[in-house]
Structure 1
Amino acid sequence: MNAKVAKDAEIFITFASEMISINNLTFEIGSRALYDEANWHIKPGDKAGLIGANGAGKSTLLKLIVGDYSPTSGSISMAKDLKIGYLNQDLLSYHSDKSILHVAMEAFERQNQLHTEIENLLKKLETDYSDDILNKLSDKQTEFEALDGYSIEFRAHEILAGLGFSEEEQKRPLATFSGGWRMRVMLARILLQTPDILLLDEPTNHLDLPSIKWLENYLQAFEGAIIIVSHDRYFLDRIINKTVESRKGKLTLYAGNYSFYLEEKSMREEIQSNQYKNQQAKIKQEERLIERFRSKASKAKMVQSRIKALDRMEKVDEVDDDNPEVNFSFKFSKPSGRHVVTVENISKSYPNLEILKDTDALIEKGDKIALIGANGKGKSTLLRIVADADKEYQGKSTKGHNVSQTFFAQHQLEALHLENSILQELVAFAPKHTETELRSILGCFLFTGDDVFKKIKVLSGGEKSRVALAKALTADANFLVLDEPTNHLDMASVNILIQALQQYEGTFVVVSHDRYFLENIANKIWFIEDKQIKEYPGTYQEYEEWSSKRVSKPQPAEAKKIKEEPKKEKAPITEDSKRILAKKNKELGNLEEKIATQDKLVKDLEVELAKEEIYSDAVKLQEHTRNYNSEKATLDHLQADWEKLAEEIMELEG
């Protein structure tokens, strides 16, 4: 074998081992290079997570791969006859009046064609018994059987059921379903195509937890390659074996799942940071040397040589902090009483569907509740009842003493004032916050620099969602009700929201399908079972472990109704009771003023303790610590008195 033949054979083998080869890809939008000579080689069996901040070009790269966009320069090469399954948000516009089972089965293009031809030949056979018809029929049936045509309907049923569709729903026209459910049908159709490679752009966006888990199992067993764009890190960790980061126009490969990526990136950044510091020290040393001898004629050659060496030096970039720690300054003027929301004998039905039946619940001060479960089980309905956004039900939902609430849901985007700038919207809503604080919060949700002066009316749906979430977090509220707050957020923003809710000292209830988010913010889990509200008193991970061990439906000892106290008859309020109530409310107001004053004193003392001249002097530190402990104890006593008095008031109010 000569050298040229050997080289050609090597190139062929290299390419044959790759499904898709991205070489020196540059893609420009206007004057901005979204990708700048980026490279990536996708091999059979690769299950890769494509990650990066919003706007980093992840969805764009998928469109470049399928040919919706053309590179400015560079190339994207593919193996011959590569079959690609591509799920993207544009599929929401697909319309059909046919059943979702029929739409899903459109995946079997050749089988459907053969089925039609076989039906036509059988019809002809009723009057024409010629060998020609019999032979054609035999050939078509043989091919149909070879393509597993007799099981395609079963496979379609199976995948649609896994994605949450009942037998009855599979007969309904696609046009009768909402956008999220239509997207599930599109996903089913793509999975049924059994492509060589799946390109999935945010596949969990419209799935509930049971469907996400089903999809995880399906993709783990999928034999082809997969590229997933997702902000669900639990989902990525369970499927991918490679992580590719899209950042600053480049694609960087990490040989492991998302957790591996975080560890590996941290190590790489530590090395880079040390290299950067060393290089900067060397540059400063060289610059001082150049400056010192610049005016000496005898050293001119040496100076020029060092200047050229500095110019030629390949500069190490300073490490950017993609996950900054934030300090949210939550401000609510009054803490709530012990009982935040009491739900009693709640029943809720829709036509042909009973959601809740005579169920009770109690939300206590400090509860961080994750409300989870399959879509259609009543999560959002219960959330609206708790938030007083739904009045059409039987039973009673009561707010406790001093409860101030804010409710975040996607439909509230309509309440934004379109002519306001982003900053104006927050200033008008949260006057207690300074402009600096508001800009800091907006920065956490990806609105930096002059972005804060954009008008609401020019924002995308995702950007409006982030503005509405920022508003919710600046409200004077000690009780938050949050419906899918992580939608439209990238991983960095989800981490910001986690940090914010971890610092929040009030109470909240949240509906979300993001398991990493839930694990990091919840201390109680609610779920709806047998039309009853059930509670698990622990974290999401603990709930998952408990749930996986359950053999049958929970008994009262396992997952009880939340509120089990016997109901009390409401006593009539007498004139004496009114006088006592008025007196106690006045005492409560005085206590709140004392608490506010004492709280400020304690915070001032904390600032003093952090000063170097205090903590570096043992005598001063001891004196200030003793003073701080005394004032903190006073504050604790005042708060305990407030709790006790608030409970007495609630008892008197019935």
Structure 2
Amino acid sequence: MILDCQNICKAFGTDVILDNISFHLEEKEKMAIVGINGAGKTTLLKIIMGEESADSGQVIVSKDRTIGYLSQYQESNYNTTVRGVMMDALKPILELQDRMRELEHTMAEQSGEELEKSLELYNRYTHEFEYKNGYSCESEANGVLKGLGFSKEDYDRHTDSLSGGQRTRLALGRLLMVKPDIIILDEPTNHLDMESISWLEGFLSSYQGSVIIVSHDRYFLDKIVTKIVELDNGHSQVYNGNYTYFAQKRAEIRENMMKAYLNQQQEIKHQEEVITKLKQFNREKSIKRAESREKMLSRIERLDKPTEVASEMRITLEPNVLSGEDVLTIEGLSKSFGDNNLFSGIDMDIKRGEHVALIGGNGTGKTTILKMINRLVSKDAGAIILGSRVKIGYYDQEHQVLTMSNTIFDEISDAYPDLSNTRIRNVLAAFLFTGEDVFKRIQDLSGGERGRVSLAKLMLSSANFLILDEPTNHLDITSKEILENAIRNYTGTVLYVSHDRYFINQTATRIIELRDKQLTSYIGNYDYYETHRTYSTDLVSPFTPISGVSDAPAQTAPAVSQAKLSWQESKAEAARQRKKANDLKKLEASIEELENRIAEIDEQFLLPENATNVGLLNDLTKQRNEADTELNELYTKWEELSEED
């Protein structure tokens, strides 16, 4: 056990946030802390880090263990370049390298017992340097920067010129290079695109230390964690498994809790009715019996009502008009902003009943496509054709469809003037706006609250073609699951942009990827896309409209690409990939041979008969340095070749 939280309690005034929270973290264990917004997740992390004090309880960290923390709102005041921040993280390793070099010069002038002591120290330094990956740490730092979305052109940028998201990513990269025994991450995927998240998953999964994550990205959690700590209504529950296991187990537990609660409420109501009736008899015996029952009732330990039942959104989406078979046809669509060409001549075809996720890296133009369909942004060329009887319902992540000066109540009333006040209040209550909340102005709402207002308008629209731009942003996990269920059961057509891979996995019947200004279509959910996506030899035929997922099973459907590679080009690309694989294999063999040679030299350093042979030791040191230099060059070649597309 590397960390132990024992009976942590924390309240702000009369509001109890954490009530006897207990769990432990094992060495190399990957754990997530989950719960609805306001459950106390970030507060708990700050208590673990010592940034806030608990009212009672204690946090025990094993002796000499280091902890690194990336907060959700990172404040970084680096006065250097991007590369400088990463080199600062490597400072202990670079200082160790300097000590090794100094010792090498010193040993050249030593002999006897003095040299033996220096050799022993040098050997200790060498092993520590190797253990900390010193020979390739700078390459590893570059790999981390690349994985987190920084280009080589960014390395020399001053940190003052970075955006808030870039600074957070840089802080994450620095933390990963420091390699503490425990990494604590609060919403680490917030500023990452899909490729960077996928890279981070791989890094954390193979990380040799322990990890604690707070995240609403359920696909991310599924890939990494083996333990979930849920915070609910101040209490904690530990589940040994990934997020999918937790969700299933929690549903079973919540169902049992609700049954127990309802049964107890029914029994209490029954006893209260009996007591009332006995008192109405107004007899000495009946009154005594009533009093006896009251005492029994007062001793019952009353169960709390499960929080999800009390606080969940209720969404029902259903089209009131059936659209034609062809819902959306896009032909030759092009868009540029100044010199930035997003895409040219792209085609897309969506049929009735399809649930299509449009994915791609940040800045590729996904949201622009949605806005052009909704005529919020003009197209440069091409045609956007809506099918017969198609009625769009649009959810905009920037909430431009909301009037900021309106109250929540007026926003619904203006959009649907035929609704009665009672109906409006009932709808808003379903989206967690009750009492005086309905008179809050849109401009004063949080991002999550504005999202709920937009979803309420969407539900009332009875649209048969939903276009959604990042619909899960700012929603807690419970609300995401409710929205997922509504989309899954929706009989109309859906086109959406989302970075939430779990949401995509649950709701998409087809995925269209926008990459390198081209579209690639995959019939299936996100798991299918992950298994079948390719950027080389599979891209052999143009994008063709695909009818519904029901017409072609996801298990056998091929990826269809818009990239126009000829058969000869595909063959040449396959040959290039084979050559690359062979070159990598040769490099890896050379690296292994050189590493074995270095190990042999180190063994000769340790032989007693060589301890006083200054000439031999100097020669071995020279051989060792030359081998180190050659090995670093091989590492660099291998990395460059591996990074080639």
**TM-score of the two chains, using structure 2 as the length reference:** 0.71
Matching residue of 2:4: 20
Deviation by residue 1:257-294 (Cα, 9 ceiling, x = unmatched): 22222332333344434544554565566556666776
Deviation by residue 1:584-617 (Cα, 9 ceiling, x = unmatched): xxxxxxxxxxxxxxxxxxxxxxxxxxxxxxxxxx
> Which among 68, 86, 98 is matched to residue 51 of structure 2?
68
Task: Note closer, same or farther for the CA distance 1:306–1:341 as it changes in structure 2 (3 Å cut).
Answer: closer
Tell whether the 8 Å contact from 2:395 to 2:467 is kept in structure 1 after alignment. Answer: yes
Distance 1:275 1:54 in 2: 26
Distance 1:325 1:470 in 2: 10
Matching residue of 1:629: none
Deviation by residue 1:243-267 (Cα, 9 ceiling, x = unmatched): 2111111111222222222332333
Shift of residue 187 of structure 1? 1.9
Shift of residue 194 of structure 1? 1.2
Task: Note closer, same or farther for the CA distance 1:375–1:49 as it changes in structure 2 (3 Å cut).
Answer: same
Deviation by residue 1:134-160 (Cα, 9 ceiling, x = unmatched): x9x989986767754443211111122
Tell whether the 8 Å contact from 2:329 to 2:350 is kept in structure 1 after alignment. Answer: yes
Distance 1:560 1:287 in 2: 67
Distance 2:522 2:182 in 1: 40
Amino acid at match of 1:63: K
Matching residue of 2:523: 537
Matching residue of 1:525: 511
> Which among 241, 244, 247 is matched to residue 232 of structure 2?
247
Shift of residue 176 of structure 1? 4.2
> Which among 204, 209, 216 is matched to residue 224 of structure 1?
209
> Which among 316, 319, 330 is matched to residue 328 of structure 1?
316
SS of residue in 2 equivalent to 1:424: helix
Distance 1:420 1:354 in 2: 37
Matching residue of 1:515: 501
Shift of residue 355 of structure 1? 3.5
Distance 1:22 1:392 in 2: 59
SS of residue in 1 equivalent to 2:399: helix
Tell whether the 8 Å contact from 1:59 to 1:201 is kept in structure 2 after alignment. Answer: yes
Tell whether the 8 Å contact from 2:318 to 2:464 is kept in structure 1 after alignment. Answer: no
1:49 maps onto 2:32 in alignment: yes
Shift of residue 433 of structure 1? 4.5
SS of residue in 2 equivalent to 1:106: helix
1:77 maps onto 2:60 in alignment: yes
> Which among 426, 430, 455 is matched to residue 412 of structure 2?
426
Shift of residue 511 of structure 1? 0.9
* RMSD of aligned alpha carbons: 4.1
Task: Note closer, same or farther for the CA distance 1:82–1:146 as it changes in structure 2 (3 Å cut).
Answer: closer
Matching residue of 1:308: 295
Distance 1:229 1:355 in 2: 34
Tell whether the 8 Å contact from 2:315 to 2:483 is kept in structure 1 after alignment. Answer: no
Shift of residue 311 of structure 1? 2.2
SS of residue in 2 equivalent to 1:168: helix
Tell whether the 8 Å contact from 2:317 to 2:462 is kept in structure 1 after alignment. Answer: no
Amino acid at match of 2:49: V
Tell whether the 8 Å contact from 1:27 to 1:72 is kept in structure 2 after alignment. Answer: yes
Shift of residue 352 of structure 1? 7.1
Distance 2:286 2:461 in 1: 66
Task: Note closer, same or farther for the CA distance 1:521–1:432 as it changes in structure 2 (3 Å cut).
Answer: farther
> Which among 59, 65, 89 is matched to residue 107 of structure 1?
89
Matching residue of 1:546: 532
Deviation by residue 1:503-554 (Cα, 9 ceiling, x = unmatched): 5454332111212211332222111245322222333343333337x87332
Distance 1:229 1:389 in 2: 36
User: Mind listing any 5+ residue stretches in structure 1 that lack a counterpart?
Assistant: 1-16, 565-654
Amino acid at match of 2:45: L
Distance 1:481 1:300 in 2: 65
Matching residue of 1:466: 452
Tell whether the 8 Å contact from 1:105 to 1:152 is kept in structure 2 after alignment. Answer: no
Distance 1:94 1:473 in 2: 41
Task: Note closer, same or farther for the CA distance 1:205–1:425 as it changes in structure 2 (3 Å cut).
Answer: same
Task: Note closer, same or farther for the CA distance 1:518–1:344 as it changes in structure 2 (3 Å cut).
Answer: same
1:200 maps onto 2:188 in alignment: no
Tell whether the 8 Å contact from 1:362 to 1:562 is kept in structure 2 after alignment. Answer: no
Shift of residue 364 of structure 1? 3.7
Tell whether the 8 Å contact from 2:39 to 2:233 is kept in structure 1 after alignment. Answer: yes
> Which among 409, 415, 433 is matched to residue 447 of structure 1?
433
Tell whether the 8 Å contact from 2:258 to 2:305 is kept in structure 1 after alignment. Answer: yes
Point out the more displaced range, 248-257 or 435-444. 435-444
Distance 1:114 1:108 in 2: 10
Deviation by residue 1:214-255 (Cα, 9 ceiling, x = unmatched): 222222222322222222222222222222111111111222
1:59 maps onto 2:42 in alignment: yes
Distance 1:530 1:496 in 2: 34
Distance 1:274 1:503 in 2: 26
Tell whether the 8 Å contact from 2:541 to 2:563 is kept in structure 1 after alignment. Answer: no
Tell whether the 8 Å contact from 2:313 to 2:430 is kept in structure 1 after alignment. Answer: no
Distance 2:84 2:509 in 1: 44
1:94 maps onto 2:69 in alignment: no
Point out the more displaced range, 398-407 or 519-528. 398-407
Amino acid at match of 2:472: T
Task: Note closer, same or farther for the CA distance 1:400–1:289 as it changes in structure 2 (3 Å cut).
Answer: closer
Task: Note closer, same or farther for the CA distance 1:238–1:433 as it changes in structure 2 (3 Å cut).
Answer: farther
Distance 1:243 1:389 in 2: 42
Point out the more displaced range, 30-39 or 415-424. 415-424
Matching residue of 1:166: 151
Point out the more displaced range, 53-62 or 467-476. 467-476
Distance 2:160 2:524 in 1: 41
Aligned pairs for 1:562-641 (under 5 A) are: none
Distance 2:288 2:427 in 1: 54
Shift of residue 19 of structure 1? 1.0
SS of residue in 1 equivalent to 2:73: helix
SS of residue in 2 equivalent to 1:89: coil
Aligned pairs for 1:134-283 (under 5 A) are: 147-276=132-261, 279-280=264-265, 283=268
> Which among 349, 373, 390 is matched to residue 362 of structure 1?
349
SS of residue in 2 equivalent to 1:488: coil
Shift of residue 489 of structure 1? 0.6
Point out the more displaced range, 481-490 or 68-77. 68-77
Tell whether the 8 Å contact from 1:162 to 1:211 is kept in structure 2 after alignment. Answer: yes
Task: Note closer, same or farther for the CA distance 1:83–1:287 as it changes in structure 2 (3 Å cut).
Answer: same
User: Mind listing any 5+ residue stretches in structure 2 that lack a counterpart?
Assistant: 112-117, 543-557, 565-645
1:457 maps onto 2:457 in alignment: no
Point out the more displaced range, 423-432 or 335-344. 335-344
> Which among 19, 40, 43 is matched to residue 23 of structure 2?
40
Matching residue of 2:398: 411
Amino acid at match of 2:71: N
Shift of residue 162 of structure 1? 2.2
Deviation by residue 1:399-453 (Cα, 9 ceiling, x = unmatched): 455555454333335x644443222222223335454554454445443443322
